[in-house]
Amino acid sequence: MRIALQPNIPGLVDQLQALGRGIEAIIVPSDGSLAQQPLEADALLCTATGGGDLPALLSACRGLRWIHVLGTGIDNFPLSMAGDAVLTCSRGATATPMAEWVMAMMLCHEKQLPARWINEPPEAWYMADLGCLEQKTLGLVGLGAIGEAVARRALAFDMQVIAKVRSYRDSPLPGVQLVEHLTELLQVADHVVLALPATAASRGLLDARALATMKPGAHLINVSRAALVDQDALRVALDSGQLARASLDVVDPEPLPAGHWIYAHPKVRLSAHVSWSGPNIAQRLLAPFIANVQAFIRGEPLQGLVDTQAGY
């Protein structure tokens, strides 16, 4: 089995070769030479952007039967170029750090952090109008691996958890209520978390009309993709007081240019697309790939399959 590796991750070649003598791991050259010397490979490990030249990489590889994207989001992957190859991704690999990030954002909002830290005598000791997560309603838009990880933690905080999924069905998690329409969720949720992929169907999901439907004073958290939210409409919702806060780990564009209004808005907490980060993150992302290599060799079904028609 010949595996082409676009990201040159230290130790990965040795890790693959330790799985069996029949595995040949090849580091994809970054000097553009693939255009003159196409690469024969059964499988390809790549990132969603391929270092900026993924279409050329896909065109240069011959005989691909399987492509694995090292990450969760594949909205930047040229799906039409996958051809007949099976496409998988590291779905769910970063669910734990992302769920913890979401909980941190909700707690910071309710406990008014960092504003409540002091470095001089305050006007008053002991008294503050802090909130609690207990009995607050969490609205999850998307209930995949990340959404489920958030839900489990929120339930432990005695939150009411509701979720909207692509196709209405019975809830997979005890204590989580699924709603049929997004409006049902937006009207009652104190904290709304976007945890769904960016597809043609979900782009602009939270437009001006949807934001106006949200419960007054709600908190929006986006750890998914910026394309899900109309940023101009979000600014209006924040300025009007319709939303109390937006905690954004994703924005458009990225990196966000200096001077952009999002940096300075008092109701926005902005992070640099880091919610997925955590200990041993490279191994977290590689674990589904390594498991799939073993399954591929044995002729077993692969995990993390991507539906190229649905876009995730």
CATH number where 111 lies:
3.40.50.720
**Are 8 and 151 members of one domain?**
no
Q: What is the model's pLDDT at position 81?
A: 92
Domain that holds residue 260: 95-270
Which of the residues 254, 260, 298, 300 is marked catalytic?
254
pTM of the predicted model over 0.85: yes
Q: Which residues pair with 193 in a beta bridge?
A: 140, 221
In a domain, 75, yes or no: yes
- CB neighbour burial string for 166-176, b if at least 16 within 10 angstroms, e if fewer: eeeeeeeeeeb
What's the whole-number average pLDDT of the chain? 94
Instruction: Reply yes or no on whether 254 is catalytic.
Output: yes
Using alpha carbons, list the distances in angstroms from residue 102 to 8, 22, 129. Answer: 31, 43, 22
**Are 49 and 133 members of one domain?**
no
Whether the pLDDT of residue 36 is over 70: the answer is no
Q: What is the model's pLDDT at position 49?
A: 76
Comparing 57 with 292, which gets the higher pLDDT? 292
Whether the pLDDT of residue 50 is over 80: the answer is no
Which of the residues 68, 91, 219, 225 is marked catalytic?
225
Instruction: Reply yes or no on whether 273 is catalytic.
Output: yes
* C-beta separation of 225 from 197 below 8 A: yes
**Are 34 and 74 members of one domain?**
yes
What is the pLDDT confidence band of residue 137, given thresholds at 50, 70 and 90? very high
Which of the residues 65, 203, 235, 273 is marked catalytic?
273
Out of 133-137, 198-202, 235-239, least confident range: 198-202
In a domain, 186, yes or no: yes
What is the total count of domains within the chain?
A: 2
